[in-house]
Structure 1
Amino acid sequence: MEGTFWSLLPPLVMILLVLLTRRVLLSLGTGIIIGALMVENYDLLATLERIWMSFQGSFYAEGAWDIWSIQLVVFLLLLGILIAFLTATGGAKAFGGWAVNRVKSRKGAQYTTGLLGVAIFIDDYFNSLTIGQVSRPITDRQNVSRAKLAYLIDSTSAPVTVLTPISSWGAYIIGIISTVIATHELSDYSALGAFIQMIPYNFYAIAAIALVFLAIYFKLDIGAMKKHEERAETTGDLIDPANPDVPGDIKGEVAENQNGRVYHLLLPLLALLITTMTVMVITGVQASEDGVTLVSIFANTDVNLALVTGGTLAVLLSVLLYAVQPGDKSNIFVVTWQGIKAMLPAIYILILAWMIVSIIGAIGTDQYLVGLVEEANLSPAYLPLMIFLVAGVTAFATGTSWGTFALMLPIAGEMAVELDPTMVIPALSAVLAGSVFGDHCSPISDTSVLSSTGAGSNHIDHIVTQIPYALIAAVTALLGYITLAITTSAVLSLIVTLGALLGLVLILKR
């Protein structure tokens, strides 16, 4: 069953259960069990061992600790503690009161979030978690649903980082592209130059960002999002009462100090921002062996170490501000525990997502999907279109953009060289576009999990409400790739993509 059509069964069962039951932990667990049974030919003892190894392998494998995973979990715990103290000091409430006098409309609150999402492009994790903390007090005051906030965060974080060479994503992609160029001796390209040329062909990422601002301007609330927004506007319930469990939500367990000031929120968040960026630069410089450039810094930086360092300093500062604050206060250890407890659902989802990604990798789901591209007998002009679709399905099923990049960029480059070397840049860009699209729709995407966490939204509510917008952007991207196949013009194809996007928005709004 490995590497065959049946390898699609575990992710399909998991996704179907998510949509039917809305119980993400149950659905992920079921997918893991089915996948492990298939990998081990239904041997129960071997299946149990496979499940355990998929868990252990998330943190310890081949005789070494997986520092990356451990640091991400530690940062999420630190973030939960930070949220609790920002609430306990009254800083979040004070910032919301300050912002409501300056951001005076629901559209203004959403524009602020969208613009921050575009401006903070260094890393998708950092984007998702930081913007949520800054924007949540503003959008909460304007009765913007948490599902809408999660959409605004998620649909700017990955698209902007995949379009920016000076980001953790850009550096990672450039590193893979350099291997493709060297393998096929493409002397006409440099890795950075190729990445920059790929930007206008990334129709989905561009459309997704544009759709965020069009949706705000036209108040385009469709599907499940309309219910969330109408409920938030009319009742003030920002979270669906039927799905009250959300990561990062303190649920009134922490009393807000009435002496809170705006600086109680801003100083810890500035400490997080400045420290994280500083450590990213330092670790990137230290690891750049072949000369220091902006691209080399982001290619070699240790993002999770930077997040943990910044999170630790931000938490210590918030605890200090709380300790010296006058007025009635809860016990510091109680506040800390409430912050940890609020973040546990996100950590459970993330760990199970890592486990099912491991199982899916063992059963060969990604290899089967990529094999479809290799076996397809198609015109070179339609190669980017085909790659976009397969990359989207692969990222959706596996929950990882980066894994799809690593798998499909070399294959897309090889196929383009063999079929038509002029299609190298569009084919590589189509991998990026499809990967982000699949990532936006996947309930096991770590970026989507962290966007839910940053926004304080129920994770499945976020996925269900975001999918229609992702599909709109994907349809317009498909039209762009069809236009590219017919005309070979990147400019005209991009115009068709954005024109079709505006047209669809206007039709749906009516």
Structure 2
Amino acid sequence: MEPYYAGWLSLLPPIIAITLALLTKEVISSLLIGILSGTFIYSVGTSASSLFAGTIETAFNVMAAKVDFNILIFCTLLGALVYVIAMAGGTRAYGKWATRKIKSRKAALLSTGGLGAFIFIDDYFNCLTVGTVMKPVTDSYKISRAKLAYIIDATAAPICIIAPISSWAAAVGSNLKTTGAFTSDFSAFVATIPYNFYALLSLVMVAVICLTNADFGPMRRSELRALKGDLGAVDVPQASQFEAAEKGKVWDMLVPIGSLIVFAVVGLLYDGGYWGSDP
């Protein structure tokens, strides 16, 4: 596919997808309609011979071209790593240690947000790790699962989309470079950071809520129920439950996650040609 400048029409697909998702509460069909609206605009702009066939064909071509099995394997291995850490007892040990060290509700909220900002390699790994690790801590201070989920979600993707070294940086940078407006993937990604208002404002909002405890709307109602003992926990199916090791140590979690971050950064720098390449 050749790049096509659609001007303000390029805003319509995400607006359509978000609006439909909010109205229907159904994500997959909303995203699909948003994609089709974008490929329709592309077909009209490129004067396709058949708008209907061009719209469908472009959608399939785009989706087929973006299938990356490396990312699928990467995300699968991240999930496996979280499971292994939990089975080894590292998650439970860290939760107990953090519960002893954290002395207030505000500190528990800030620790959750801070850990979410620290794990910037991948948003899926961020959600899996922070949720598993901080759940015992937030439960001990009667913080609702809804608020825990909000803090995790509002730090995972936003921190990854503005971190120069992340799975998102590689994807966004490579896509923007195809426009020809940037000299490299990295420069393309860095140029978007000041204009990524959603990510920046989401992180600011998390900090404000953690520091001020200014809940509102459904979040406030969830917090009031949590203070009475109803955390809003979801029952886990019996088939997915497991028994973690009792003798796990904090290092059983810190060493694997620390190694992942260090070697991921080193690998990204090496693959990007920042070191190890021939002069």
**Range of TM-score over shorter length:** 0.5 to 0.7
**Out of 252, 259, 267, which is 1:274 matched to?**
259
Asked if structure 1 preserves the Cα contact closer than 8 Å seen for 2:165 and 2:268, the reply is: no
Asked if structure 1 preserves the Cα contact closer than 8 Å seen for 2:88 and 2:252, the reply is: no
Of 135-144 and 165-174, the range deviating more from structure 2: 165-174
Query: Which TM-score applies when normalising by structure 2?
Result: 0.64
Paired residue type of 2:207: F
Q: Deviation per CA, 1:284-333: give whole Å up to 9, x if none.
A: 41x335x539xx9xxxxxxxxxxxxxxxxxxxxxxxxxxxxxxxxxxxxx
The 1-side partners of 2:143 and 2:81 are apart by 22
The equivalent of 2:272 in structure 1 is 288
The 2-side partners of 1:181 and 1:35 are apart by 25
* Identical aligned residues as a percent: 30
Label 1:284 to 1:251 Cα distance change in 2 as closer, same or farther (>3 A). Answer: farther
Label 1:89 to 1:223 Cα distance change in 2 as closer, same or farther (>3 A). Answer: same
- How far apart are 1:274 and its partner, in Å? 0.5
Q: What residue ranges of structure 2 are gaps of 5+ in the alignment? A: 1-8, 41-51
Asked if structure 1 preserves the Cα contact closer than 8 Å seen for 2:122 and 2:166, the reply is: yes
The equivalent of 1:75 in structure 2 is 77
- How far apart are 1:143 and its partner, in Å? 2.3
Asked if structure 2 preserves the Cα contact closer than 8 Å seen for 1:89 and 1:256, the reply is: no
| 1:180 and 2:181 correspond | yes
The equivalent of 1:228 in structure 2 is 222
Paired residue type of 1:261: K
The equivalent of 1:153 in structure 2 is 152
Asked if structure 1 preserves the Cα contact closer than 8 Å seen for 2:90 and 2:252, the reply is: no
Asked if structure 2 preserves the Cα contact closer than 8 Å seen for 1:144 and 1:238, the reply is: no
**Out of 240, 245, 254, which is 2:241 matched to?**
254
The equivalent of 2:45 in structure 1 is none
- How far apart are 1:103 and its partner, in Å? 0.8
The equivalent of 1:66 in structure 2 is 68
Label 1:255 to 1:98 Cα distance change in 2 as closer, same or farther (>3 A). Answer: same
Paired residue type of 1:70: L
Label 1:230 to 1:161 Cα distance change in 2 as closer, same or farther (>3 A). Answer: same
The equivalent of 2:115 in structure 1 is 116
Paired residue type of 1:143: K
Paired residue type of 1:67: F
- How far apart are 1:69 and its partner, in Å? 4.8
**Out of 6, 12, 22, which is 1:15 matched to?**
22
Asked if structure 2 preserves the Cα contact closer than 8 Å seen for 1:92 and 1:137, the reply is: no
Label 1:31 to 1:195 Cα distance change in 2 as closer, same or farther (>3 A). Answer: closer
Paired residue type of 1:78: A
Label 1:115 to 1:74 Cα distance change in 2 as closer, same or farther (>3 A). Answer: closer
Q: What residue ranges of structure 1 are gaps of 5+ in the alignment? A: 19-23, 40-45, 183-189, 297-510
Count the aligned residue pairs.
250
- How far apart are 1:215 and its partner, in Å? 0.8
Asked if structure 1 preserves the Cα contact closer than 8 Å seen for 2:117 and 2:155, the reply is: yes
Paired residue type of 1:270: V
- How far apart are 1:145 and its partner, in Å? 1.9
The 1-side partners of 2:255 and 2:216 are apart by 35
The equivalent of 1:42 in structure 2 is none
The equivalent of 1:208 in structure 2 is 202
The 1-side partners of 2:153 and 2:34 are apart by 29
Label 1:278 to 1:162 Cα distance change in 2 as closer, same or farther (>3 A). Answer: same
Q: Deviation per CA, 1:437-476: give whole Å up to 9, x if none.
A: xxxxxxxxxxxxxxxxxxxxxxxxxxxxxxxxxxxxxxxx
The equivalent of 1:333 in structure 2 is none
Asked if structure 1 preserves the Cα contact closer than 8 Å seen for 2:145 and 2:231, the reply is: no
The 1-side partners of 2:94 and 2:101 are apart by 11
Asked if structure 2 preserves the Cα contact closer than 8 Å seen for 1:120 and 1:127, the reply is: yes
The 2-side partners of 1:225 and 1:234 are apart by 15
The 2-side partners of 1:4 and 1:200 are apart by 20
Paired residue type of 1:28: I
Label 1:81 to 1:107 Cα distance change in 2 as closer, same or farther (>3 A). Answer: same
Asked if structure 2 preserves the Cα contact closer than 8 Å seen for 1:109 and 1:138, the reply is: yes
Aligned to 2:228, the other structure's residue is in SS state helix
Q: Give the CA RMSD over aligned residues.
A: 4.7
Query: Bigger radius of gyration, 1 or 2?
Result: 1
- How far apart are 1:72 and its partner, in Å? 4.9
Q: Deviation per CA, 1:357-391: give whole Å up to 9, x if none.
A: xxxxxxxxxxxxxxxxxxxxxxxxxxxxxxxxxxx
The equivalent of 2:5 in structure 1 is none
Asked if structure 2 preserves the Cα contact closer than 8 Å seen for 1:105 and 1:142, the reply is: yes
The 2-side partners of 1:121 and 1:30 are apart by 28
Asked if structure 2 preserves the Cα contact closer than 8 Å seen for 1:110 and 1:216, the reply is: yes
- How far apart are 1:80 and its partner, in Å? 6.8
Label 1:15 to 1:251 Cα distance change in 2 as closer, same or farther (>3 A). Answer: farther
The 2-side partners of 1:108 and 1:98 are apart by 14
The 1-side partners of 2:68 and 2:12 are apart by 30
Aligned to 2:101, the other structure's residue is in SS state coil
Equivalent residues in 2 for 1:86-105 (5 A)? 86=86, 91-105=90-104
Label 1:67 to 1:232 Cα distance change in 2 as closer, same or farther (>3 A). Answer: same
The equivalent of 1:439 in structure 2 is none
The 1-side partners of 2:198 and 2:190 are apart by 16
The 2-side partners of 1:33 and 1:165 are apart by 31
- How far apart are 1:134 and its partner, in Å? 2.7
